A and B are shown apart, each in its own frame.
Chain A
Amino acid sequence: MPAFGSFALLLALVLAAYNLLAGALALCLLATGRPTRLSPEKLAETARRAGIAGFVAITAAAFALVWCALRDDFTVAYILHHSNRALPTAYKFAALWSGQEGSLVLWAWLLGTYGFVLRLRHRIDVNLHAYAGTILAGIQVFFLLLVNFVAPPFALTVGDIPVDGFGLNPLLQYPEMVIHPPMLYLGYVGFTIPFCFALAALMMRYPGEKWIQITRRWTMVTWIFLTVGIFLGMHWAYAVLGWGGYWGWDPVENASLMPWITGTAFLHSVMMQERRGMMKNWNVWLIFSTFLLSILGTLLTRSGIVSSVHAFAQSSIGDWFVGFLILTLVVCIFSFVRNYDHLQSEHKLESLVSRESAFLFNSLILLALCFTVLWGTLFPVLSEYVQGSKVTVGAPFYNRVAVPIGLFLLLLVGVGPLLPWRSSSLRAIRKNFLWPNAAALSVLIVVFLFIAQPWTKFADGERQYPWSDQATFYAWIGFALAAFVLTAILNEFLRGANVIRKHTGRNLLASTWLLVRRNTRRYGGYTVHVGLVLTIVGLCGSAFNQNVEKEMAVGDSINIGPYKLVSQSYTQESNDNYETEFSVIDVYRDGKKVTEMAPEKRVYIASQQPQTMVANHSTPLWDLYLVYEGKNVDTGQPIIKAFLNPLVSWIWIGLIMMVFGSLIALTPSLSSIAAAPRTAAQPEPEVAAGGKS
C-alpha cells in the first residue's frame, strides 16, 4: 500500500503539472489568436480532464494513507509516529491530519476535490473556468511537490519495525478533533477557489461582475466551513485544555482568525461591487489577502517562526511556504498593476452617511482588526530582529487593542442596516436610530441602577464602579451594543413583515417567513448578524468568570456561585489506550441535587502524555466547569478547580444561528414574479431558483 500511495501522489503531481502547462499554453494561444496546428480549445479540454484525473489520483493517495493507519502498518514512518494499535478507529482516521505529511495530503486532497467540482462546472463560463482551473493547478503543483519530495507521507520506517506505534498526540484524542481540523482546512483551502476566480477575472479582464456571482456560493460555503472550524477549535480548547477559556490569542488561533476576518470583509464589500460597481480594487485585494493569509497561517503553524501550544507539525518546510507566498504575491501585484485600469469604479460614494460608507468603514475596521491580530502575532519576531530580544504578546495585549476595535465593529453591524444606499436625510436617520438607541440606553441604565450600583460600598470601604475593571467595562458596553444591533435587526424584520402583512393579509409570522423567502440573502445576512451578536454576548460573559481551587477528599465541598459541590468519591481505571483518575462530584443548588460530574485526567499509555478531560454542566446562564488537576503528592487527595463561566452557551448558540443564517442566504430567493404583491384572487407563487438580491 505505501508503494501504491507514493505512485498515486507522483501521478497526481504529473497530472497537475500537465494541467498547468497545457492550460497556460492553451490560454496563451487563445489570447494571442495565433493560428497553430494544435487547437487551443482541445488543449484546454485535455488540461481540464487532467485536473479531474488528478483528483482521482490524490484521492487514491489519501485512501492509501488512511488504509495504512487503519491496518496499523508501521512500516510507514508517519503511521508509526502518529498512531498505535489501541487507538480507536475514529482517531486512526484522524491520524491523517495529525502530522505534517498527513495534513499536507489532506490539503492537497481538499484542493483536488474543490478543483474537481470547479472543473465539472466549467460550462457556466468555459473561459473563466479555464483560467481559474489553470491557476488552481499551479497551486496544486506546489502542494503535490511538497508531499512528493519534501514531506513524503509514505516514507518507510528505518531499521527494525516496532511492534506498536508511538500513538496520537493526546490533545487530538477528542471527538471534536475528528471534525475540527477538516472543517478548518475546508475553510483555508476553500478560499483558494474565489482567489483563483478573482485572479482569473483580473488576468483576462473579465467584463462585468458575473465572476462574483459565480464565486459567491463558493465564498459563502468556505466561510461557513472556516467559521465552524474556528468555533469547534474554541470548543475543543474549552473542553480539553482545562484552563476555563476558549480563546487564548495563540498564534495558531490567530492564523485561523485572520483569513476569516478578511473573508468576512470580502463577503460584505463584494455587495458594493455587485450593486454599484464600486470597490473593485478593494475586493480584489481582499480576496488576495484572504488566500495569502491562509498560506501565511500554514507557514506560522509549521515553521516554528512563532511559538504556539497548538503547532503539532513543525519543520523546515516553512522555507517552501515563504517562497510560495512571495511568488503568489508577485503574481498578484503584477496582475493588478497590469490590469489596474480594468478595476475603475463605476460610481463614487455620494455621502458619508450612507450604506456604502457603512460597508466601507466595516471593511476598514475588519482590516484594522486583522492587522492588529497579524501585528500581535508577528511582533515577537519583529522585536527579536530589532531589539535582539523576544517579547510576549499575549491575551492582555489583544484585550486592550483588539476588543475596542471589535466593539466599534459591532456598532457598525447595527448602524449599517439603518442607513439607506447613496445618501440619507437627518430626519430618516433619527427615525431609524430611535429604537436601537433606546434599547442600548436602557441596558446601560439597568446596569448602572441595578447591577453596578456605584453608590454601594463594599465591606472594605471600596467602591466598585462599572469602569473600575477594564473587562467589566467592555462587557457592559458590549451588552449595550448587542441590544442596539438586535433592536436594529428586529426593526428591519418587523418593518418589512408589516408591509407584507398589510398587502397580503397574512399573520406576522407568515409575513416574516415570506419576507425572508423573498430576499434570503438580506435576511439570511441579518440572521448571521444575530448569531454574531449572541456570540459576542457570550464572549462578554467571560468578564464575570469566577473560579475556586480546592483539594477535595471524600465529603469535602466547594461553594461557587449558587452551586455547592460535594466530593462523593475518587478513583482510577485503565484500558488499552489510557489510564485515568477521576473524581465523582455531586452538584447541589438550593439544597437539591442538580447533577453529578466526573472530571478526569488521563495518561495515554503509548505516548505517556497526560490529558485533562473537563466535566461541564452547561445552562443558558452559565457553565459549571470542573477540572481534575491531579493529586496532591503529599496528601494523595485530588485537587479540583471549579469555574463558573457566565453565558458561554450563547457562543455556541450564536454559531448555530450564524450557520443557519448562512444557509438561508445560500437558498435562492423567490422569483421576481413571486415577489410581486398578490391579491386574494392570485394563486400561491412557485419558488424559483436564482435568488440574486
Chain B
Amino acid sequence: MTLAFGRFCSSRLLLTALLGVALLFGMGATDPGSRFNDLGHRLMCTCGCSQVLLECNHVGCSSSTAMRAELNEAIASGANDQAVLQMFVAKYGATVLSAPSTKGFSGVAWIMPFAVLLIAILGTVLLIRRWQVKPAHATTTTTTTAAESGPDELRDRIRRETDYTGGL
C-alpha cells in the first residue's frame, strides 16, 4: 500500500515537474532586443552561406543586412513571432526557417526522434520485465561456456579484492 502510494506520488511529481518545465519553455521573450535575437536565430541567411541569420559574418552581405533590417521593422510593427516568421516564409520560402515548422508534415521532424526514443525505452523495459518473470527458466536453459566463465571468475576476484560489487 505504502509502496503503491509512493509510486503514485512520484509519478504525479514527475508529471507536475515535466508540465512545469514545458510551461516555462512556452514563455516567449517579450522585449524587442530579446525577440530580435530569438527570431534572428530562427531564420537563415539566404546568401548561400548556410548560416543562421544573426551568425552570418560576411561583411557587406546583401542578404543578411537587408534581412536584419526587415526583421527589426517587423518586430517594431507589433507583429507577433509567428506572423514575423510567416512574413519571411512568404518572401523567401520555407528554407528561410532554420528549423522545420511544427505543422503538417514538417511536424514529423520533431515528433519522430522522441517517438523512436520512447518506443525503444518502453520496449526495452517491457522486455526486461518479461525476462525477469522467468529468471529460473532463463538460467536453466543457458549453458556457461569456457569463454564466458573466465570473466565471471575474474569479476568475482576483483569484487573480493576491492570489496566492491561493481566493475566492468
A350 near B135: Cβ-Cβ < 8 Å? yes
Contact flag A244-B55 (CB < 8 Å), given A347-B142, A368-B116, A391-B106: yes
Q: How far is the CA of A428 from the CA of B166 in the complex (A)?
A: 11
Hey, which chain A residues are within 8 Å of B161, CB to CB? 499, 503, 675-677
Query: Is A82 in the interface zone, CB < 8 Å from B?
Result: no
Chain A nearest CB, measured from B140 CB (Å): 11
B124 near A361: Cβ-Cβ < 8 Å? yes
Hey, which chain A residues are within 8 Å of B131, CB to CB? 348-350
Hey, which chain B residues are within 8 Å of A372, CB to CB? 113
Of the 9-residue stretches A66-74, A272-280, A283-291, which lies at the interface with chain B?
A272-280
Hey, which chain B residues are within 8 Å of A392, CB to CB? 44, 94-100
Query: Is B74 in the interface zone, CB < 8 Å from A?
Result: no
Chain A contact residue count (CB 8 A cutoff): 94
Hey, which chain A residues are within 8 Å of B86, CB to CB? none
Chain A nearest CB, measured from B135 CB (Å): 6
Kindly identify, within residues 102 to 133 of chain B, every residue whose CB is under 8 Å from any CB belonging to chain A.
104-106, 109-110, 112-114, 116-117, 120-121, 124-125, 128-129, 131-132
Query: Is B63 in the interface zone, CB < 8 Å from A?
Result: no
* Residue on A nearest B113 in the bound complex, by CB: A372
1/0 contact trace for B40-82 toward A, CB 8 Å? 0110100001111001111110000000000000000000000
B148 near A346: Cβ-Cβ < 8 Å? yes
B112 near A629: Cβ-Cβ < 8 Å? no
Within the complex, which residue of B57, B59, B132, B154 is in contact with A350, where a contact is CB–CB below 8 Å? B132
Query: Is A563 in the interface zone, CB < 8 Å from B?
Result: no
Query: Is B24 in the interface zone, CB < 8 Å from A?
Result: yes
Contact flag A641-B151 (CB < 8 Å), given A309-B50, A396-B42, A522-B167: no
Hey, which chain A residues are within 8 Å of B148, CB to CB? 209, 275-277, 346
* Residue on A nearest B125 in the bound complex, by CB: A352
Query: Is A383 in the interface zone, CB < 8 Å from B?
Result: yes
Within the complex, which residue of A243, A367, A396, A496 is in contact with B120, where a contact is CB–CB below 8 Å? A367
1/0 contact trace for B129-154 toward A, CB 8 Å? 10110010011001111111001101
Of the 9-residue stretches A54-62, A334-342, A416-424, which lies at the interface with chain B?
A416-424
B155 near A421: Cβ-Cβ < 8 Å? yes
B155 near A375: Cβ-Cβ < 8 Å? no
B51 near A368: Cβ-Cβ < 8 Å? no
Kindly identify, within residues 400 to 446 of chain A, every residue whose CB is under 8 Å from any CB belonging to chain B.
400-402, 405, 417-421, 424, 428, 432
Kindly identify, within residues 665 to 693 of chain A, every residue whose CB is under 8 Å from any CB belonging to chain B.
672, 675-677, 692-693
Within the complex, which residue of A208, A395, A405, A465 is in contact with B24, where a contact is CB–CB below 8 Å? A465
Q: How far is the CA of A470 from the CA of B28 in the complex (A)?
A: 10
B155 near A275: Cβ-Cβ < 8 Å? yes
Within the complex, which residue of A210, A376, A630, A677 is in contact with B60, where a contact is CB–CB below 8 Å? A630
Chain A nearest CB, measured from B99 CB (Å): 4
Contact flag A274-B151 (CB < 8 Å), given A243-B51, A349-B131, A383-B100: yes
Hey, which chain A residues are within 8 Å of B2, CB to CB? none
Kindly identify, within residues 356 to 383 of chain A, every residue whose CB is under 8 Å from any CB belonging to chain B.
357, 360-361, 364-365, 367-368, 371-372, 375-376, 379, 383
Query: Is A639 in the interface zone, CB < 8 Å from B?
Result: yes
Hey, which chain B residues are within 8 Å of A309, CB to CB? 49-50
B164 near A496: Cβ-Cβ < 8 Å? yes
Q: How far is the CA of A390 from the CA of B100 in the complex (A)?
A: 10
Contact flag A395-B98 (CB < 8 Å), given A355-B166, A428-B165, A641-B57: yes
Hey, which chain B residues are within 8 Å of A394, CB to CB? 44, 52, 98-99
For the complex with contacts A379-B109, A391-B97, 5 further pairs of A-B residues with Cβ separation under 8 Å are A346-B142, A387-B106, A392-B94, A393-B100, A424-B165
Give the interface of B toward A (CB within 8 A).
21, 24-25, 27, 29-31, 41-42, 44, 49-52, 55-60, 93-101, 104-106, 109-110, 112-114, 116-117, 120-121, 124-125, 128-129, 131-132, 135, 138-139, 142-148, 151-152, 154-155, 157-158, 161-168
28 A-B residue contacts at CB 8 Å? A208-B147, A210-B147, A250-B50, A275-B151, A276-B151, A277-B142, A307-B50, A360-B128, A364-B124, A372-B113, A383-B106, A383-B109, A391-B95, A392-B98, A394-B99, A397-B98, A400-B110, A402-B113, A420-B167, A421-B165, A467-B21, A499-B164, A522-B168, A525-B168, A612-B57, A639-B59, A672-B154, A692-B151
Give the interface of A toward B (CB within 8 A).
208-210, 242-245, 248, 250, 271, 274-277, 307-309, 345-352, 355, 357, 360-361, 364-365, 367-368, 371-372, 375-376, 379, 383, 386-387, 389-397, 400-402, 405, 417-421, 424, 428, 432, 460, 462, 465, 467-468, 470, 473, 492, 495-496, 499-500, 503, 519, 521-522, 525, 612, 627, 629-633, 639, 641, 672, 675-677, 692-693
The 3 A-B residue pairs with the shortest CB-CB distance, nearest first, are A630-B59, A394-B98, A420-B165
